Structures are given as structure tokens and as C-alpha cells.
Structure 1
Amino acid sequence: MALTTQKPILICGAGLASLLLAQSLRRASIPFLIFERDSSISFRAQGYRLRLSSEGLDAIESALGSAQFQRFWDMCGKTGGGGFGTINAITGEKMSGSGPSNNAGQTKTSGRGPPQESLASRGGKIVGIARGDMRRLFMEGCEPFVRWSHRVAGYEVSTSGVRAVFEDGSRSVEGDMLVGGEGVSSRVAKQLSNGKLKVYDTGARGIHGQAPTTAFKGLGEGVWRLADETKPNGKVFVMTNVRPGDMDDPDVQFGWTLAAQPGVVGAPNDDYTIVGKPAAEIAKALTRDWHPRVRTLFDEMVESEAAFWKITCSTPSGVPDWQNEPRVTVIGDAVHSMTPAGGMGANTAVRDSALLGKLLAGSGGYKEGVTGAYEKEMRVYASEAVRASYGMATSQFGVAISEDSPTV
């Protein structure tokens, strides 16, 4: 990044949306600084694999540029098929009426069972990448501009710029603009929206994990939903993507996401951010009576990569309006948290990064009106995504939230 007297764009959080925005700014030679609460990129297990939609891939390509996107594309796994296959986790048998579909670009909501999602994105393939790999690639070139162990508590706007305020009471250098991308617990989002941006605890719980690809050989290629409806308090199911070519290599890992309906499982000491062996033990206990065909995913899991989490959702009606602040805005989970249903969260977050990055690049950096233009367009596609994700989650996860539901 060239030397400049221009004040930086301050970015809170070093997750996927924040780092992709930083890549877009780097390409446009717009200075930036990133403040991240963790002490390093390897501080926490990254856990799970993300499925990328056409819109998500287009956004990533727009932000990275053709050369870096090609590297990203080469890292992605490509799986055939257009829909989920569902396996009874207790019997190991494929459930009738499940399997690949050809409904590209559609979400089937009629008929029996949960909505059938269209999974294919480019070239008729289902495209996915491990979150950790994605984050490391987005970090490349941004390392000198990341300030680790900085927990953002809010911001201060002046006539000349904006500063991040940290939890210890210290302040950042003055920037031209500040972007809150620090996730569902974003203090920036709460301050900017005056409390209008809310993230609800759905009551559902999840565990992300990984295992050597050889543990998945009993499934075969495809995108699979493993369903257990025998638990007394509700359903448990797992989603995973098994791509060809790697199943004989024990040095390669596939990821899975386990989800349980509200009331099925809690966490020790109500700690919903536990990682490693304690989270792995919960997953193993939940799947102890599953068929050997699918239980290998948990018996052979890499315990250090397990992560337990609350399943949250923003206001289902969509992203609310708030009084625009020209120098401050929010991206990703900070503005539109979604359930895993539909795999829309990360894809919507990278759209934020690409859109805001494009607007900033087009104006040569901060300019009054940029945040207003971004928020106007973001509210449309993000509200649609939140409503769709919540709609699928009501059937898949058995969740129901209202204005009276607990927030996080």
C-alpha cells in the first residue's frame, strides 16, 4: 500500500467480511487499519466449511480481482449434484425422496418436508471452502495493517473524522470512516443503530467439526443431511459436503455442522463459545447411537477443531432503518446475523464487502454519501436473505423468535 496522507478506513473485526473489504481497499490503494479482539489468526478454531452461492462468488471475484480470485477458486472444492441427500442417522439408510435435484436457482418450498435448497453455483457444481482457508487467503497482504488484541467498545465521531474506542478506554488514530464488522456482538452496530439492530438467540445450538476425509467414505460424493429424530426433546441433524478426489487421502479434512433444535442440548456452565475437546465430547455424546456409516465422522473427528455455538438470527422482518452516520456503517453478521439454514450468511456478508469496497474505490476513499448508498442497497438483498434463512430455519431447526425473544 503506497504512502499517503489520507486517513485510513478503520475496520472493526478481522473476520471474512472485514478482510475481504480490506482486500478491496488494498487494490484501490485506500489506507486501512483492522482492529481484532483475538491475539492471532490461529487463536480460535475456524471449524466449518462454507458453501458459496453464485452471488457470493461474484462478490469475492469483484473484491479480489481476477488474479487473486483464481487462487481462491483453485482452493475451493467442487462437488456434483444439485440438492441434499438425506440419511437416517440411526439406520444409516438413505431416506426416500431425497437426493440431488436440478432446481438450480430456486428454493422449493411446496410439498412435504423442509424446503429444498438449490446448491449449485458455477458450472453446475456445488462450491465450498473451509472457513479457515478462506480467512487466511483474505488475510494475505493485510497482515501489517491488523492490530491484534484490540476489542472495540464503540466509536467517537468528530468534525474531522472518527476514532475507535477500545474496551480499555484507549482510542485509535483518527480515520476517515469506521466499519463495524465484528460479528453478532458488535458494539458498533448497537451504537450506530441506537439499539435497533438486534440479534436473537433462537434456542437452537450447533457444533462445527472436521474429520479426515477417509471418515466420509461411507457417504460418497454429495451434499448430505444426516437426520436423527429419536431424541426426546427434538431433532438433531448434520450437514456435510463430500467432494470427490480426496476421500483416500487421510491428510485432507472435510468439515461438518451439527445442529440441534431448541432444548436438545446445552453447554457446560452455559458457555456457548467453547472449543476443542469439550465441544467434541458433546458432539460424540449426541451421536453415540448413530449408525457406523455416519458415526465415523465423530469417532475420528479432529477434536481441536470442534466449536460449539449459539444459533442466532437478526430481526426476521429484515434490516431496520436507522439514522445514517456518514462516517460509520456495518457489514456482515454485525448487521444481518442468519441461521445456517440456506447457507446465506457468509454469501451475504461478502456481498457487503464487495459493494462497500466498490463504492469507496469509486470515490477514492471516504466521501459523504457512501455509507447511505451502501446501506440503501444492502438493506434490500440482506433483508431478503434474513427472511429466507429464518423461514427455512422454522422448519429445519424448529425455531420461532419474536421481539420478546432473548437477544445476545
Structure 2
Amino acid sequence: MPLNVKPILISGGGLASLLLAQSLLLSKIPFVIFERDASLTFRGQGYRLRLSSEGLDAIESVLDEASFQKFYDTCGKTAGSGFAALNANTGEVIGQNPGGESLGSREGKIVGIARGDMRRLFLEGCEQYIQFDKHVKGYEKTSDGVLAIFADGSKSVEGSMLIGGEGIRSQVAKQLSGGKLKVFDTGARGIHGQAPTTAFKGLGEGVFRLVDNTQPHGQISIMTNVRAGDMNDPDVQFGWTMVGQPGVIEAPNDDYTIVGRKAADIAKGLTAHWHPRFKPLFEDMVENEAAFWKITCSTPSGVPDWDNDKRVTVIGDAAHSMTPAGGIGANTAVQDSALLGRLLREAGGYKDGVTAEYEKGMRVYGSEAVKKSYGLASGQMKVKIDEATTPTV
């Protein structure tokens, strides 16, 4: 990479940040990533991601041919019965492609990948440019650059730009937008779990939503992706994501950082009366992988406007957090990386006008994605955001 050129500073080591880093690496534009955790595997990686046509196209536009082929080969491809909704209590099929969703993205198949695998592949080649235990809490402008400010009060090297990609609690997003970028707590809650592939054999191949409307406080449902190619591999686990309408899933002492046995026991209790076909997903679950999560969403009316800063912008969940409904969030995040990376490549690095052009494009598809995600969640999870009264995270 060129010497004596101020690097682009990237806050956060999530998917959008790492894919942007890949783009900058290929463009020979200097960068450094600041990640608050001690490593990329410090925390659980969460549920499996479904990649849409738009998401795959964005990733392919960034990576070189060999890297994208390696990435695509790592992805699972699911065919089988497609996307089916099942009654969790009776085991009966209650709908094919519920909500009219078509999940296929390439070759007529549903393409998915574990979040941890995606981060690992996007990190390849960028290892020397990431600094761990660096929690960005804000930034400071200089006469011709920008400094990241860390939680301990220290500051980064001077960069030509700062890209905030540190998720829903992004301090860069709050400072940049003057508080206009908000993430609302919908009140809906979830539990992520995993089990050996053998626990899923009763489902067969496909993507399934198991729906239970008999809970006393509202509906819960499970989403899972069962891939035939991994079905008999004893070293592979499949994941499932449980989502409950507001008031259905409650963590002890309202502590949603709890992982492991306590989260697993709540999932088992909620599904104790489910059809025997589905029982192994919970009875055989790997308890230490269970984790709660809050379901959040950005402003449903779309990505707000803020005064553009030519040296600072935001990507991924920092710009547009979404509910899990529709599996849209990660696919929108990688579109940010592809768009911003392309503009920086064409400009040869920092250039006045790049962030304005990026934000103009991002607001269009980002706002559309947030509205779609919130609309689906309103129907499935009965969430309602009032921008004046709903609490933020």
C-alpha cells in the first residue's frame, strides 16, 4: 500500500466493515480497522445469514474471482421444499412461501452462510490492518483529517476518513447525525440456538418457519435452514432462531446478555408442548450456544438526512438497523460496502463528495429495506414503533 498516505479509519469489525476493507485492499487504499472485542470470535456470532441476489451480487462485485468462488463454495445451498410454514403443535404445513417471500438467490436455491464463516473469509488478507480492544466512542476533526477517540481517552493515528461500522450502538453514527440516527427497541425478543444435524432430520431439506399461536402472551416462531449436504456430518450443527412477540420471551431480571443454560431452559419451556417431530431441536440443543437477543429497528420511515461530513460516514447497522424479518439486514450492509468501496476506488481514496454520493445512494435502498423489514415484523411479531415514545437502545 502507498506510504505517507493517511489511512481510512474503520470503526468496528463486522461484516460491512470487513467487506469494505477487502475493497480497499484490492484498490491499494490504506486503511486500519478498530474492533472493540479482543478477537473476532470473542462473542457468539449469532444466527445463520440468508444471502439474497442483491447481497451476493454486492459481495461478488467486491471480491476477486478466486476469493468470491471460495466464499460461494463455503455457502450452503438449500433446495428441498423451499420455504414452508408449519404448525409447531400439529406438525402440519400451513403455507408455502409464507408472505409471498421468494428466498432463492442463485441456481434456484436458497444460499446461506454462518456469520462467523463470513467474517473469517472477509478478514483474509486484512489481518495486519485490524487492531483489537479498540472501542471507538467518537471522533475529532483536524485541519485535513480525522482522529478516532477510544473509550480509554486515547486517540488513533490521523486518518483521511472515518467510516462508522460498529453496529446499532454506534457512537460515530450518533455524533455524525446529531442524534438523528436512532435504533428503537421493538419489545420483541429472541433466542438463538444450535443442535447437531441429526436433530433436524425430521424436517427434511428446506427453510422452515415453525409457528405457535397457543402461547398465553402471544405468538412465537422458529426459523431454520436445513441443508441436505450437511445432514449426515457429525461435525456440523444447524442453528435456529426463535422470535417472540412483545411480552412472550422474558430473560431473568431482564438481562439479555445471559447466554447458555438459562437461555436454553427458557427455549425448552416454551416449546415443551410442540409436536414430536420438532422436539429434538430443543432436547438435543448445544446449551452453551443459546443466547437471548433484543429485536431492534431503525426509524421505519427511512434513513434520515443529516448534514453531510466529507470525511465521516456510516455503514451497515450503524446506518440502518433492521428486524430479522425477511433476512434483509446483512444483505443491505454488504451493499453499503460495495457502493462506498467502488466510489473510493474510483476516487483513488479520500475525495470531497464521496460521502455525499454514497449517502445519497444508500438512503434509497437502505430506506426501502428498513420499511420492508419493519412491515414484515409488524405483521409477524406485532411490533409497533412510535418514533415519539418507543424507547431507543
Could you tell me the TM-score, scaled by structure 1's length? 0.94
How much does 1:274 deviate? 2.6
CA distance in 2, matches of 1:25, 1:292: 50
CA distance in 2, matches of 1:345, 1:274: 24
How much does 1:192 deviate? 0.3
Match of 1:367 among 351, 354, 374: 351
Root-mean-square deviation (CA, aligned residues, Å) is 1.3
Tell me, which stretches of 5 or more residues in structure 2 are unaligned?
none
CA distance in 2, matches of 1:16, 1:273: 21
Quote the residue 2:96 is aligned against. Answer: 99
Equivalent runs, 1:219-368 vs 2, <5 Å: 219-368=203-352
Quote the residue 2:390 is aligned against. Answer: 405
How much does 1:83 deviate? 4.9
Match of 2:373, as an amino acid?
Answer: S
**Partner-residue secondary structure (3-state), 2:234:** coil
Quote the residue 2:68 is aligned against. Answer: 69
2:17 matched to 1:14?
Answer: no
Count of residue correspondences: 392
How much does 1:285 deviate? 2.1
In the alignment, is the contact (CA less than 8 A) between 1:223 and 1:239 conserved in 2?
yes
How much does 1:82 deviate? 7.9
After superposition, the C-alpha distances for 1:293-351 in whole angstroms (9 at most, x for unaligned) are 11211211222322211000000010000000000000000010000111100000000
CA distance in 1, matches of 2:167, 2:157: 22
2:88 matched to 1:89?
Answer: yes
CA distance in 2, matches of 1:115, 1:374: 32
How much does 1:277 deviate? 2.8
Match of 1:44, as an amino acid?
Answer: R
Quote the residue 2:48 is aligned against. Answer: 49
After superposition, the C-alpha distances for 1:383-402 in whole angstroms (9 at most, x for unaligned) are 00000111111110110101
CA distance in 1, matches of 2:264, 2:333: 28
Match of 1:195, as an amino acid?
Answer: G
In the alignment, is the contact (CA less than 8 A) between 2:2 and 2:28 conserved in 1?
no
**Partner-residue secondary structure (3-state), 1:321:** coil
After superposition, the C-alpha distances for 1:344-373 in whole angstroms (9 at most, x for unaligned) are 000000000010011111111111111000
**Partner-residue secondary structure (3-state), 2:247:** coil
Match of 1:28, as an amino acid?
Answer: S
**Partner-residue secondary structure (3-state), 2:238:** strand
In the alignment, is the contact (CA less than 8 A) between 1:81 and 1:126 conserved in 2?
no
In the alignment, is the contact (CA less than 8 A) between 2:81 and 2:205 conserved in 1?
no
CA distance in 2, matches of 1:33, 1:59: 22
CA distance in 2, matches of 1:37, 1:65: 28
Equivalent runs, 1:126-165 vs 2, <5 Å: 126-165=110-149
Q: 280-289 or 59-68: which moved more?
A: 280-289
2:106 matched to 1:122?
Answer: yes
In the alignment, is the contact (CA less than 8 A) between 2:302 and 2:370 conserved in 1?
yes
Sort the Cα spacing of 1:392 and 1:192 in 2 relative to 1 into closer, same or farther, 3 A.
same
CA distance in 1, matches of 2:149, 2:129: 17
Quote the residue 1:180 is aligned against. Answer: 164
In the alignment, is the contact (CA less than 8 A) between 1:82 and 1:126 conserved in 2?
no
Quote the residue 2:57 is aligned against. Answer: 58
Match of 1:215, as an amino acid?
Answer: A
**Partner-residue secondary structure (3-state), 1:86:** strand
CA distance in 1, matches of 2:123, 2:287: 25
CA distance in 1, matches of 2:30, 2:259: 34
CA distance in 2, matches of 1:309, 1:128: 21
Percent identical among aligned pairs is 70
After superposition, the C-alpha distances for 1:137-180 in whole angstroms (9 at most, x for unaligned) are 11111111111111111000111200111111111110000000
Quote the residue 1:396 is aligned against. Answer: 380
CA distance in 2, matches of 1:51, 1:338: 14
How much does 1:3 deviate? 4.8
CA distance in 2, matches of 1:292, 1:46: 29
